[in-house]
Structure 1
Amino acid sequence: MLPEVNLRPPFNITRASHVVLHVADLAKSREFYVNIVGLVVSDQTEDTCYLRGLAEACHHSLVLVQSQGAATCKRIGFRVFFEEDLDLAYAFFKAEGLPAEWAEVAHQGRTLHVEDPYGTKLELCASMETRPRMYLEIEKFKGAHGQRLDHYQIFSPDTHASCAFYSRLGFRNSEYLAHGDQLLGAFMYRKGTCLDLAIVQNDGPCLHHFAYTVSESHNIFTACDLAGIYGYSASVERGPGRHGPGGMLFVYLRDPDGHRVELFNSHYQTIDIEIEPVRWDAATLSTNVRWGLPAPHRWYFEATPFEGAVQIATASPPKPETLETYVQKLSAAQP
C-alpha cells in the first residue's frame, strides 16, 4: 500500500519552514495574521510582510506578497540541514527532469526553487536570518499566540505517486487514509513529529492549508472569538474540533484572500524507526473522531492554487460526507 521510504535520501530535508502567499491587501492580511493568529512581524517593505511565530528564531515562516492578480501560493518552503544539501537537491531534481533554479530571496541564505512531479512549487534553503524568540514576552502577545509553523497539506491528483516521490526524499508516514487498496491521504514527516506534509487526493497541485501550533487549547477558542470581533466570523470554517489522524484539537480559518490556516495544539513524536504508520479507513474522508460534525463542502474541495501551476484533474475525486450532505440525511430521516 505505502511506497518504500528511502531512509538515506539524496539530500536532507529537516522540516517545513515557510510559506509565501500572494494577497490583495497587504495591510489587511497583516492585521489578520497579527491580531487573530498572533504572529510577529519581523520586517516589512512596501509590498512584502515577513512574519514568524512567538517560538520561532528564524526570520520568517509566513511571507505575504502584495499582488494585483489571483491569490495564489508562490512557494512552500522546506529547510535542508547543510549548504551542500542544496547542491545535492539541485542535482537530484535536474536528474529527474524537474525544474530547479537558484533564486535570490531576502533574509535567506542560498535558495533553490524546485517543483515536484505535479508542479507543487517548493523552496529549499539551509539558513535564514534570526531574530529573538518572543515566547517569554507575554506582555506583547496578541491573537491566538501562534508559536511555530508546523506543516502543510496539499492536493495531488495522485496521492500514491506523490507519496512515492516524497518517500524517496526521506519523508516517512505517520498515518494514512485508505479505501481498500487505494491511498487517498498520506501524512508525512521529516522533523520527528507526525507531520510536515499531508498529501490528499484531489485536483491539484493546490495548497489546502498551512498550520501553526498554539501552546494552550484555549488559544483555539481565542482565535474564534477574535475572528468574530474583527469581522471574520464567517471565516471560522471548521472546528473547533478534534482530528482522528494526529488526535489534535484544531480550528481552520480563512484569511482575507481565502487562504486557509489551521491552529492546533499538539503532535506526538515519531522519531523511532520501529514505529509503523497508522491506517485510517477513508471511506468518507472524514477526519473527525468520536465527536464533531463533518466539515463543509468547501473545506474538502476549495484550496489555493500554486502560482503558474497547471491544474490536473484527479481520476479518483474524493467523495466525503460533508456537512451539507449530513444535514440532508438528517432532514430526510425526520418524520
Structure 2
Amino acid sequence: MLPPVNLKPPFNITRASHIVLNVADLAKSREFYVDIVGLVVTEQTADTCYLRGLSEACHHSLVLIQSKKAASTCKRIGFRVFLEEDLDLAYAFFKEQGLPAEWVEVAHQGRTLHVSDPFGTKIELCAQMETRPRLYLDRDKFKGAHAQRLDHYQIFSPDTYQSCEFYSKLGFRNSEYLEHGDTLLGAFMYRKGTCLDLAIVQNDGPCMHHFAYIVPESHNIFTACDLAGIYGYAHEVERGPGRHGPGGMLFVYLRDPDGHRVELCDGHYQTIDAEIEPVRWDAASLNTSVRWGLPALHRWYFEASRFEDAALIETPSKPKPETLETYIQKQLALD
C-alpha cells in the first residue's frame, strides 16, 4: 500500500533538473559523456565541466567536478521549482521538518538551496538557470548516442516506504511501484507528467544508483554500446540493451570512468491526469525486465555512488533479486 500524495504540496517541484558528480579525471569523464553518451559541453573551467543534452535549453544537466579526494561520489541531485517564491517555501518546509536547508551560490543558476531528505540524500533546488540555444537540429554537433535531455534519477533508501512518504508530501506521485507482499521495495515517482523523475529502491543508502538521459531513437542505444566498445568501455556496458517492465522503456546502463552509472532510454508514457492509478508489480515474479532479456549482474542491484559526506545507513531488509550469476547457476544445474 502506498502513502497518500499531497496534490497541493507546500512548494512546486517541476522536474529532475541536473546532477553534480565528483570525478577523478575531468578530461576522461568529459570524453565519455561527449563521445559515447552524446552530451554537448556548454562550458568548462580548470576543474568543472558543464554539459547538457541536445534538446536542453538550460545551461547544464550534468556537472562534472575534478575531485581526487571525493572521486566517485555524487555531490547533489537537482530539481527545479517553478517560481522563486517556491524556494522560500521550500526553505521554510525543510527547516520546519528539522532537515538541513542552506542558501548557496552556484554558477549559472539563480538562487540555489541545498537540502537533504530524511535519510541524507543531497538535493539542490533552483528556480532559474542560464539558457543556451537548443542543438537538436544542429547535426554537426551530434556525437555518441545523441542524448536529448535528463529524465530521472534512481536512489537507494534504507526504507523505501518512508522515503516514498516524504516525497509524496512534496507532490511526487507514483506511476508504478514494486512490492514483496506488503513491503514496498521500489517506488517510481514523478512530477513532470511522464512516469519518472525519481525512482527509490530499498538498499543501503542514501546512494545514487543511476541517472538517465532520453535518446531520440532506439538505435541510438545500440550506437552507445558500439561506441563503448570502441572507446574501451566494453565491460562497462553493464546491463542491456533490454526493455523494462516498469516504465516499458528500451534501455542500456553504462558505467563511466569513475563507476557512476548512466542509463540511456527511449521515451515513456504520460501521467498528467489526476485519475491515473499507479501500477503494482510483484517483486516475486519480476526482475525489472519482462518478456525478454536476462537478469542484471549482481553489481547492478547493489553497487551505487555514495553521496558526498553522507553517512551510509544499512537497510534491515535488503532485496534478494535473481541476478545473472544466480540465473546461470540454475541453468547449469538443469543441464
Q: Normalized against structure 2, the TM-score is what?
A: 0.99
In the alignment, what sits opposite 2:234? 233
- Can you list the C-alpha shifts for 1:59-106, whole angstroms capped at 9, x where unaligned? 000000000123100000000000000000000000000000000000
In the alignment, what sits opposite 1:190? 191
Please report how far the alpha carbon of residue 285 of structure 1 lies from its aligned counterpart in structure 2 after TM superposition.
Answer: 5.4
Give the aligned residue type for 1:253.
L
In the alignment, what sits opposite 1:318? 319
In the alignment, what sits opposite 2:58? 58
Name stretches of at least 5 consecutive residues in structure 1 with no aligned partner.
none
- Can you list the C-alpha shifts for 1:252-279, whole angstroms capped at 9, x where unaligned? 0000000000000111000000000000
Distance in 1 separating the partners of 2:140 and 2:263: 24
Asked if residue 24 in structure 1 is aligned to residue 51 in structure 2, the reply is no
Tell whether the 8 Å contact from 1:16 to 1:78 is kept in structure 2 after alignment.
yes
* Equivalent residue pairs, number: 334
Distance in 2 separating the partners of 1:284 and 1:332: 21
In the alignment, what sits opposite 1:37? 37
What percentage of aligned pairs have identical amino acids? 82
- Can you list the C-alpha shifts for 1:261-303, whole angstroms capped at 9, x where unaligned? 0000111000000000000011265100000000000000000
Distance in 2 separating the partners of 1:297 and 1:284: 17
Tell whether the 8 Å contact from 2:145 to 2:220 is kept in structure 1 after alignment.
yes
Give the aligned residue type for 2:185.
L
Runs of 4+ in structure 1 deviating by more than 6 angstroms, as ranges, are none
Give the aligned residue type for 2:186.
G
In the alignment, what sits opposite 2:211? 210
Please report how far the alpha carbon of residue 185 of structure 1 lies from its aligned counterpart in structure 2 after TM superposition.
Answer: 0.1
Structure 1 residue matching 2:253: 3-state secondary structure: strand
Distance in 1 separating the partners of 2:133 and 2:321: 43
Q: Normalized against structure 1, the TM-score is what?
A: 0.99
Distance in 2 separating the partners of 1:277 and 1:315: 26
In the alignment, what sits opposite 1:167? 168
In the alignment, what sits opposite 1:156? 157
Give the aligned residue type for 1:35.
D
Please report how far the alpha carbon of residue 54 of structure 1 lies from its aligned counterpart in structure 2 after TM superposition.
Answer: 0.1
In the alignment, what sits opposite 1:10? 10
Distance in 1 separating the partners of 2:280 and 2:161: 14
Distance in 2 separating the partners of 1:188 and 1:153: 10
Alignment of 1:2-151 (within 5 A): 2-70=2-70, 71-151=72-152
- Can you list the C-alpha shifts for 1:37-71, whole angstroms capped at 9, x where unaligned? 00000000000000000000000000000001231
In the alignment, what sits opposite 1:303? 304
State the superposition RMSD in angstroms. Answer: 0.6
In the alignment, what sits opposite 2:246? 245
